[in-house]
Amino acid sequence: MTDPTDLTAAFKSCMRTLFSGVCIVTMDDGPERGGFTATSVTSLSAEPPALLVACNASSSSGQMVARTRRFAVNVLRDDQRDIADRFAGLGGHRGAARFQEGLWRQNSADSPPILSGALAWLDCEVEELLTRHSHHILIGRVTACHSHSGEPLLYGHGGYHRGVGL
Protein backbone atom coordinates (compact mmCIF):
# COMPACT_ATOMS: atom_id res chain seq x y z
CA MET A 1 0.00 0.00 0.00
CA THR A 2 1.33 3.45 -0.95
CA ASP A 3 1.86 6.02 1.78
CA PRO A 4 -0.77 8.77 1.17
CA THR A 5 1.92 11.45 1.56
CA ASP A 6 4.01 9.79 -1.15
CA LEU A 7 0.93 9.44 -3.38
CA THR A 8 0.07 13.13 -2.95
CA ALA A 9 3.62 14.18 -3.88
CA ALA A 10 3.65 11.79 -6.85
CA PHE A 11 0.25 13.07 -8.00
CA LYS A 12 1.42 16.71 -7.84
CA SER A 13 4.53 15.81 -9.82
CA CYS A 14 2.45 14.08 -12.49
CA MET A 15 -0.02 16.96 -12.78
CA ARG A 16 2.83 19.48 -13.24
CA THR A 17 3.55 17.82 -16.58
CA LEU A 18 0.07 18.72 -17.83
CA PHE A 19 0.24 22.18 -19.40
CA SER A 20 -2.98 24.20 -19.17
CA GLY A 21 -4.25 27.58 -20.26
CA VAL A 22 -4.34 30.17 -17.49
CA CYS A 23 -7.71 31.75 -16.76
CA ILE A 24 -9.15 34.23 -14.31
CA VAL A 25 -12.56 33.15 -13.04
CA THR A 26 -14.60 36.09 -11.75
CA MET A 27 -17.87 36.59 -9.95
CA ASP A 28 -19.88 39.56 -8.70
CA ASP A 29 -22.28 39.78 -5.77
CA GLY A 30 -23.54 43.37 -5.83
CA PRO A 31 -20.78 45.59 -4.47
CA GLU A 32 -18.56 42.56 -3.74
CA ARG A 33 -16.30 41.12 -6.45
CA GLY A 34 -14.28 37.95 -6.34
CA GLY A 35 -12.03 35.90 -8.54
CA PHE A 36 -9.20 33.42 -8.74
CA THR A 37 -6.56 32.12 -11.13
CA ALA A 38 -7.48 28.74 -12.59
CA THR A 39 -5.94 26.14 -14.85
CA SER A 40 -8.77 23.68 -14.20
CA VAL A 41 -11.11 24.92 -16.94
CA THR A 42 -12.26 22.66 -19.76
CA SER A 43 -14.92 22.43 -22.42
CA LEU A 44 -17.84 20.12 -21.60
CA SER A 45 -20.04 20.44 -24.69
CA ALA A 46 -20.62 22.63 -27.73
CA GLU A 47 -24.38 22.06 -27.84
CA PRO A 48 -25.36 23.49 -25.54
CA PRO A 49 -22.16 25.49 -24.93
CA ALA A 50 -20.95 24.42 -21.47
CA LEU A 51 -17.71 24.15 -19.53
CA LEU A 52 -16.28 22.78 -16.29
CA VAL A 53 -14.38 24.77 -13.67
CA ALA A 54 -12.98 23.58 -10.35
CA CYS A 55 -12.60 25.95 -7.40
CA ASN A 56 -11.81 25.60 -3.72
CA ALA A 57 -15.15 25.27 -1.92
CA SER A 58 -13.95 27.01 1.26
CA SER A 59 -12.45 30.03 -0.53
CA SER A 60 -14.32 33.34 -0.66
CA SER A 61 -14.70 32.87 -4.43
CA GLY A 62 -16.06 29.35 -4.00
CA GLN A 63 -18.61 30.62 -1.50
CA MET A 64 -19.55 33.58 -3.71
CA VAL A 65 -20.13 31.51 -6.85
CA ALA A 66 -22.28 29.11 -4.82
CA ARG A 67 -24.46 32.11 -3.82
CA THR A 68 -24.57 34.02 -7.11
CA ARG A 69 -24.69 31.03 -9.52
CA ARG A 70 -22.82 33.11 -12.14
CA PHE A 71 -19.19 33.37 -13.17
CA ALA A 72 -17.02 34.48 -16.07
CA VAL A 73 -13.92 32.78 -17.42
CA ASN A 74 -11.25 35.13 -18.78
CA VAL A 75 -8.59 33.29 -20.82
CA LEU A 76 -5.29 35.12 -20.40
CA ARG A 77 -2.88 36.23 -23.10
CA ASP A 78 0.82 35.46 -22.72
CA ASP A 79 1.54 39.05 -21.56
CA GLN A 80 -0.94 38.93 -18.64
CA ARG A 81 1.20 37.07 -16.09
CA ASP A 82 0.94 39.90 -13.55
CA ILE A 83 -2.86 39.56 -13.48
CA ALA A 84 -2.55 35.78 -13.11
CA ASP A 85 -0.25 36.25 -10.12
CA ARG A 86 -2.50 38.92 -8.60
CA PHE A 87 -5.57 36.63 -8.73
CA ALA A 88 -3.50 33.73 -7.39
CA GLY A 89 -3.04 35.84 -4.24
CA LEU A 90 0.64 36.65 -4.76
CA GLY A 91 1.52 40.00 -3.23
CA GLY A 92 -1.30 39.61 -0.70
CA HIS A 93 -4.05 40.92 -3.00
CA ARG A 94 -7.51 39.75 -1.93
CA GLY A 95 -11.10 40.42 -2.95
CA ALA A 96 -11.76 43.65 -4.82
CA ALA A 97 -8.05 44.64 -4.64
CA ARG A 98 -7.35 41.99 -7.27
CA PHE A 99 -9.33 44.05 -9.79
CA GLN A 100 -7.08 47.13 -9.44
CA GLU A 101 -4.91 45.88 -12.30
CA GLY A 102 -6.35 45.58 -15.81
CA LEU A 103 -9.45 47.12 -17.33
CA TRP A 104 -12.62 45.39 -16.20
CA ARG A 105 -16.13 45.69 -17.61
CA GLN A 106 -19.39 43.76 -17.58
CA ASN A 107 -21.00 42.06 -20.57
CA SER A 108 -24.44 42.92 -19.18
CA ALA A 109 -25.81 44.65 -16.10
CA ASP A 110 -25.76 41.45 -14.02
CA SER A 111 -22.74 39.69 -15.51
CA PRO A 112 -19.46 39.00 -13.69
CA PRO A 113 -16.38 41.14 -14.47
CA ILE A 114 -14.81 40.64 -17.91
CA LEU A 115 -11.12 41.48 -18.48
CA SER A 116 -10.69 43.80 -21.46
CA GLY A 117 -7.85 42.49 -23.60
CA ALA A 118 -8.18 38.87 -22.49
CA LEU A 119 -7.60 36.29 -25.20
CA ALA A 120 -11.21 35.13 -24.70
CA TRP A 121 -14.03 35.49 -22.22
CA LEU A 122 -17.06 33.33 -21.44
CA ASP A 123 -20.02 34.51 -19.36
CA CYS A 124 -21.63 31.53 -17.58
CA GLU A 125 -24.57 30.55 -15.40
CA VAL A 126 -24.06 27.68 -12.97
CA GLU A 127 -26.09 24.78 -14.31
CA GLU A 128 -24.85 22.41 -11.63
CA LEU A 129 -22.52 22.66 -8.65
CA LEU A 130 -21.00 19.43 -7.35
CA THR A 131 -18.80 19.29 -4.28
CA ARG A 132 -16.08 16.66 -4.18
CA HIS A 133 -13.29 16.58 -1.62
CA SER A 134 -12.13 20.20 -1.11
CA HIS A 135 -13.51 21.63 -4.35
CA HIS A 136 -16.66 22.67 -6.16
CA ILE A 137 -17.00 21.41 -9.72
CA LEU A 138 -18.97 24.03 -11.60
CA ILE A 139 -20.85 23.10 -14.73
CA GLY A 140 -21.35 26.42 -16.45
CA ARG A 141 -23.81 27.06 -19.27
CA VAL A 142 -22.19 29.68 -21.51
CA THR A 143 -24.58 32.60 -22.12
CA ALA A 144 -22.15 34.80 -24.07
CA CYS A 145 -18.54 34.57 -25.21
CA HIS A 146 -15.95 36.20 -27.45
CA SER A 147 -12.37 35.46 -28.51
CA HIS A 148 -9.50 37.56 -29.87
CA SER A 149 -6.31 36.67 -31.68
CA GLY A 150 -3.09 36.29 -29.70
CA GLU A 151 -0.99 33.78 -27.84
CA PRO A 152 -2.26 32.04 -24.68
CA LEU A 153 -0.58 32.07 -21.30
CA LEU A 154 0.17 28.46 -20.31
CA TYR A 155 1.14 26.95 -16.97
CA GLY A 156 3.13 23.77 -16.46
CA HIS A 157 6.27 22.46 -14.73
CA GLY A 158 5.70 25.06 -11.99
CA GLY A 159 5.84 28.14 -14.21
CA TYR A 160 4.30 30.20 -16.98
CA HIS A 161 4.99 29.58 -20.65
CA ARG A 162 4.03 31.25 -23.89
CA GLY A 163 1.78 29.26 -26.22
CA VAL A 164 3.71 30.18 -29.36
CA GLY A 165 2.56 28.83 -32.68
CA LEU A 166 -0.72 27.36 -31.52
Residues 39-73 have pLDDT tens digits of 999 999 999 999 999 999 999 999 999 999 999 99
| CATH code for position 112 | 2.30.110.10
| H or E element in which residue 139 lies | strand 135-147
Structural domain includes residue 76:
yes
The residue segments making up the domain with residue 108 are 21-148
Q: What CA–CA distance (Å, rounded) separates 155 from 140?
A: 23
Structural domain includes residue 4:
no
Domain count, the chain: 1
Considering 61-65, 106-110, 160-164, the range whose residues carry the highest mean pLDDT is 61-65
pTM (2 decimals)?
Answer: 0.93
